[in-house]
Each structure stands twice: as C-alpha cells, then as structure tokens.
Amino acid sequence: DSGVTQTPKHLITATGQRVTLRCSPRSGDLSVYWYQQSLDQGLQFLIQYYNGEERAKGNILERFSAQQFPDLHSELNLSSLELGDSALYFCASSVAWDYTFGSGTRLTVV
Amino acid sequence: EDQVTQSPEALRLQEGESSSLNCSYTVSGLRGLFWYRQDPGKGPEFLFTLYSAGEEKEKERLKATLTKKESFLHITAPKPEDSATYLCAVRAGNAGNMLTFGGGTRLMVKP
C-alpha cells in the first residue's frame, strides 16, 4: 500500500456521461497530481493542486476539471465522456521531491 | 518544452542476461530524474531519484546512472520477477514541479 488511495478502482460508463474520480493523498502530503495513461501514450500530466489551490495545468481537456478539498483529498471530474477518454487515471501525492502514486482508476467508456 | 525519450520500447532478456535501458532528456533546469517500475494495471513504484551528473544509485540488481543528457538503468543478472515496464521521468525547475514521463521500456525476462 503506497498510502495514496484512489477510488473507484474500475469504472465503466457510457459516452456522454460524467464521472468523478477520487484521490486521498498520503498523510502530510499537500500536493496532488493527476495523470492519464492510455494504451498509446505514456503518463500524461493533467493537473496539480497544492493545499487547495491549482498549481499547474498540463494537457487537460476543457471537459475535465479537478479540485482539492480542505481535508486535502482531490477529485477529478470528467464530463461528456468520449470513447477516447478510456484510460488509467493515476493520482500522485508529494512532499518536497518524494512522489508516490496510487493504484489508479481504470475508466472504460462504452 | 521538457522531453523524455526512452529506448528501447521493449526488451526481451534471458534470465541472467545483463542489459541497460536508456533515458534521454531535454529539460530546462533539471531538478531530479526519477526511475519507476510499473506492473500491468498498477501504479508506478518508485525506484531511484538522481539529481546531478555523475550520480549513481543501486538497489538489488538495478543501478541507475546520470549524465547531463541521459540516464541509464543497468540490470545485472535479471530474474523473471524483474519483468515490468520501467519509466523514466524528469522534474524541471518550473512552477508546479510535475514529473514529465518518457514512454517507458517494457522488459520481459524469460527463465
């Protein structure tokens, strides 16, 4: 157990729907990062939050959004889902330069 | 733009056959080069962080080295349980401190 908890582990949904992925960082970590990993691409950085504030944005689609709550857990919201959004979504948390990844959420859009 | 390229994309080795994986990078202001191991369907598992050219780190059969342009992950006498995808990532000195990943090397070690 890495200490980073992601739920759900698997999610199957239809095109056009909206889903929410949840991440609880390691105790004490203030930064949360979201990554997408699809079959034909490596890990792509989506967005980072630090202590509730958005810190950096990567290649995140406008249909996607995220937030970090006062208890430091984070949610990634994916809307108007398309087949191409099927992927593994990973959350990582860090303190200083120590990054730890969760086990991911596998999203399948049908 | 930060770029990380890993080679080869896939590598098949016999048990005990040593080899090296390459990670070439272009980044403005390297603040760390990271190696992770990823098993199918699981999250990346941290292996090493290297910060400056000339630095080396070892863990069991793995040894990571760093130059100003690339890093190598040397695998000595690999075992089947070393089969996994090995990911290289860099952290640049920009706002956010996110990691930029390479495409990975899929390693298969046959008994």
Pairing state between β A10-13 and A105-109: parallel
Task: Please indicate whether residue B45 or residue B97 has the higher confidence score (pLDDT).
Answer: B45
Quick one: pLDDT at residue B81?
97
Residue B93: predicted pLDDT: 72
Q: What distance in Å separates the CA atoms of residue A70 and residue A59, rounded to the nearest whole number?
A: 25
How far off is chain B from A48, nearest CA to CA, in Å?
7
pLDDT of residue A105: 98
* Residue A26 pLDDT level (bands cut at 50, 70, 90): very high
Q: Inspect the interface and report whether the beta carbons of B91 and A43 lie closer than 8 Å.
A: no
Beta carbons within 10 angstroms of residue A84's beta carbon:
10
Residue A39: pLDDT over 60: yes
Chain B residues touching A88 at Cβ < 8 A: 41
CB-CB contact of B6 with B23 (8 Å): yes
Query: What does residue B77 show for φ and ψ, rounded to 5 degrees?
Result: 45, 60
Closest approach of chain A CAs to the CA of B13, in angstroms?
A: 23
Percentage of chain A exceeding pLDDT 90: 87
Residue A41: predicted pLDDT: 79
- Interface mutation target, options B42, B50, B98, B106, chain A, most CBs of A under 10 Å: B98
The answer to whether the CB atoms of B43 and A106 lie below 8 A apart is no
Residue B96 confidence class, pLDDT cut points 50, 70, 90? low
A and B: number of Cβ contacts within 8 A: 61
* Residue B24 pLDDT > 90: yes
Indicate whether B95 pLDDT > 60.
no
- The token pair at A110 is 């049908």
Q: Is A98 left (phi over 0), alpha (psi -120 to 50) or beta?
A: beta
The residue among A5, A10, A4 whose CA lies nearest residue A88 is: A10
Integer Cα distance of B56 and B67 in angstroms: 10
User: Using CA of residue A87, residue A88, residue A89, residue A94, what is the dihedral sign?
Assistant: negative
- DSSP secondary structure letters along B36-64: EEE-TTS--EEEEEE-STT-EEEETTEEE
Q: Does B49 touch chain A (CB under 8 A)?
A: yes
pLDDT, tens only, A46-57? 999 999 999 999
If you average pLDDT over residues A67-86, what whole number do you get?
97
Q: At A95, is the pLDDT very low, low, confident or very high (cuts 50, 70, 90)? A: confident
Cα separation, B67 vs B43, whole angstroms: 27
Residue A98: predicted pLDDT = 82
The pLDDT > 90 percentage for chain B reads 85
| B contacts of A58 (beta carbons < 8 Å) | 98
d(CA B46, CA B34): 8
Mean of pLDDT over chain A:
94
For residue B45, list chain A residues with Cβ-Cβ distance below 8 A.
Answer: 2, 101
Residue of B87, B94, B98 with shortest CB distance to A33: B98
pLDDT at B97: 78
B89 vs B98, which has greater pLDDT?
B89
What does the pLDDT read at residue B1?
80
Inter-chain contact B34–A99, Cβ cutoff 8 Å? yes
Q: What is the pLDDT of residue A80?
A: 98
Is A45 in Cβ contact with B100 (below 8 Å)?
Answer: yes
User: What is d(CA A66, CA B104) in angstroms, rounded to the nearest whole number?
Assistant: 27
End-to-end CA distance of chain B: 41
φ, ψ at A83 (rounded to 5°): -55, -35
Q: Which of A42, A100, A103 sits opposite B42 (nearest CB)?
A: A103
